[in-house]
Structure 1
């Protein structure tokens, strides 16, 4: 077997990587890890302050990092076009796409029409748009890897988050079908479905989230980043089709 560090370098170093929702939580942890391994990374998120904090933190921890991006909203065509233009100019293409930008949502009895439409556009349309653009670029090189970050909500189907469950169930189906469509083009597709992960999405205050982590009832964002790395580290012949990661004591 090849040296593990060599394998990681082979599959990450100098790869052109795009992370949607890469400024906080899971996305930021993924960016940290892939930048540390020499990836050339574009991140974006809709909040200007979060974006600036993320880029400054990465540059502080990894002075030689190639990190690019801008504040952007996946539901706005002008923002999407701007990010795609930046990707083409700074990276010259896409080798790896991590679809991660998503919003939490409750049920139809509490959300108004415009609120849940925005969630659907973010959680579903945003994934599809960036997957399509990645495939356009990956098809020319006959290689690439798309990882969609889903959720165990697609399996647990909580009554308290009907709209979120609908979006993550859609991502599960989309990913399965997408793999069948584009595998013949040389492009890998993986689905990662985390259980409870500490993030701004959680309704619990930060201190309670820390307590849940200590009690093994909640995951750290870096746990999902390591799962992403595992998918990316596989040899070309091997696909991690789907992966579920749950806190040790989260029973679904």
Structure 2
């Protein structure tokens, strides 16, 4: 099946402001009027205790999850304000609502995403722009492989006994929020697997 759409890829590291600015200015003129910004870049590396973690890895997590989001927001939103049209969708996590062992830095970055989204919504209250935070629970993507430093078996074991969300589930939620009428601002969506209650409470079936 084919769709009447065009895709323009700009591969760059959101931690690199110069690369981001260069990528944006390289866009063809008709692509520069961005209507929807989805800040989705994010990661966590390791499950170390806060007093044992790798500082360089923490820098990567913070620079991606927080500073990357800020860079893209600062770059794209002024044009939205000028055109009086736009929607910023930030992908947070239920990990931002409650810390868990071995994940304090990641949890802190996702709490920051929530705070930055709420603050931006206040900053834009006198405009037609909308801001949405989407906070998934357990989602089976390459995310956990990165968390376990490439150990696919450990990542697979993490999801054993529960039916996790998929990237498609999150994408459908993004589409739902973005498709709301212009006068409707969906401020926040939390989605989890049916057998998950919080970031730290989930029921996993025992293997037979």
TM-score (norm 2): 0.83
Match of 1:245 in 2: 191
The reply on whether 1:223 has 2:169 as its aligned counterpart is: yes
- 8 A contact 1:154–1:169 mirrored in 2: yes
Q: Is the 8 A contact 2:50 2:102 kept in 1?
A: no
Structure 2 stretches lacking a partner, 5+ long: 199-208
Aligned residues: 189
Aligned-pair CA distance for 1:88: 5.5
Cα shift readout 1:169-201 (whole Å, capped 9, x = no counterpart) = 100111011101013121100000000101112
Q: Is the 8 A contact 1:94 1:134 kept in 2?
A: yes
Deviation at 1:117, TM superposition (A): 1.4
Would the aligned equivalents of 1:120 and 1:167 in 2 still touch at CA under 8 Å?
Answer: yes
Deviation at 1:110, TM superposition (A): 3.5
Counterparts of 1:114 and 1:207, CA distance in 2: 26
State the 1:108 CA deviation.
Answer: 2.7
SS at match of 1:156: coil
Judge conservation of contact 2:93–2:134 (CA < 8 Å) in 1.
Answer: yes
- Answering whether residue 128 of structure 2 is matched by residue 182 of structure 1, we say no
| Richer in helix (by share) | 1
CA distance in 2, matches of 1:157, 1:78: 33
Task: Extract unaligned runs of 5+ from structure 1.
Answer: 1-60
Measured on the aligned residues, the alpha-carbon RMSD in Å equals 2.0
- Provide the residue aligned with 1:68 in structure 2: 8
- Match in the other structure for 2:180: 234
Contact 1:194–1:224 under 8 Å retained in 2 = yes
Match of 2:137 among 179, 183, 195: 195
SS in 2 for 1:69: coil
Contact 2:24 2:32 survives alignment (8 Å): no
Query: Where has structure 1 moved over 6 Å in runs of 4 or more?
Result: none
What is the DSSP-based 3-state SS (H/G/I as helix, E as strand, rest coil) of the residue aligned with 2:76? helix
**Residue 103 (structure 1) aligns with:** 43
Aligned residues of 1:101 and 1:123 also touching (Cα < 8 A): yes
Deviation at 1:92, TM superposition (A): 2.5
Structure that is richer in strand per residue: 1
In the alignment, is the contact (CA less than 8 A) between 1:123 and 1:167 conserved in 2? yes
Q: CA deviation at 1:81?
A: 1.4
